[in-house]
Amino acid sequence: MSSLLEQLIDALRVLPGVGQKSAQRMAYHLLERQRDGGLRLAGALEAAMTHVRHCERCRDFSETPVCAICASASREAQQLCVVESPADRLAIEQATDYRGLYFVLHGRLSPLDGIGPAELGLDALAERLAAGEVRELIVATNPTVEGEATAHYLAQLARRHGVRPSRPAHGLPLGGELEYVDRGTLSHAFGSRSEVV
């Protein structure tokens, strides 16, 4: 096997869920059938790695110092939604009519992994809350143990700055059937039930 082929296979293994065999299949596919696509991929990767950075205000990915959402005058600056990842931000944008701003953590609190408030940029978030423009902090972290711990920390941070924290509802999915819902979701849904009006 050539050194360049080994380097390509090794480079493909940096992707999540891609092991040795998958990386070999991808490398062989690109070399056998998709050389033009491989060159486009290489160019796009190089451009993205060189020019995509973090927005100075929300920490989402952006090609400019301030992303389009933060720069938009049509967004509601009084609402700030905190998410764990850029993918979570995109999901909210695509599935809801939310018109506020965002703050992307790029993770969640996990002391065992060495991820504390500093690694999540919470000093910058505290500065935004202290500025007085934000009235509601929507904590949209995932309902995992670390996500819930992060949500608790963020709610306390918001209250210290006189900002109302809120959390999206968790529970039964619309159109779902009870027999197929996992026990944790069903338990949480029953524990936080509300009156039917």
Residue 17 lies in domain: 3-48
* Domain CATH code at residue 159: 3.40.1360.10
Task: Specify whether 44 is located in the same domain as 140.
Answer: no
| Domain shared by 145 and 97, yes or no | yes
Whether 181 maps to a domain, the answer reads: no
What pLDDT was estimated at residue 185?
A: 76
**What 3-state class would DSSP assign to 105?**
coil
Six token digits for residue 180: 């197929």
Identify whether 105 is part of a domain: yes
Specify burial of residue 93 (Cβ count, 10 A radius: 0-12, 13-18, 19+): middle
Q: DSSP assignment of 168-185, as one string?
A: ---SPPTT--GGGS-HHH
Instruction: Assess if residue 125 is contained within a domain.
Output: yes
pLDDT of residue 59: 97
Is 178 part of any domain?
A: no
User: Considering its fold, how many domains does the chain have in total?
Assistant: 2
CATH assignment of the domain containing 26: 1.10.8.420
Residue 126 located in a structural domain: yes
Q: Residue 192 falls within a domain, yes or no?
A: no
54 inside domain: no
Same domain, 65 and 160: yes
pLDDT (tens digit, 0 to 9) for every residue of the chain, 197 residues total? 568 999 999 999 999 999 999 999 999 999 999 999 999 999 999 999 999 999 999 999 999 999 999 999 999 999 999 999 999 999 999 988 999 999 999 999 998 889 999 999 999 999 999 999 999 999 999 888 899 999 999 999 999 999 999 998 877 777 777 677 777 777 777 777 666 66
Q: Report the pLDDT value the prediction gives residue 184, as an integer from 0 to 100.
A: 76
Tokens for 145? 């143990």
Look at residue 197 in the predicted model and tell me its pLDDT: 60
- One domain, residues 44 and 102: no
Shared domain check, 30 and 78: no
* 92 in the same domain as 31: no
**Residue at 180 is within a domain:** no
Residue from 79, 67, 89, 80 nearest 142 by CA: 89
44 plus 91 within the same structural domain: no
Based on the fold, state whether residues 66 and 113 are members of the same structural domain. yes
pTM over 0.85: no
Does 69 share its domain with 162? yes
| Chain position carrying tokens 């909210």 | 92
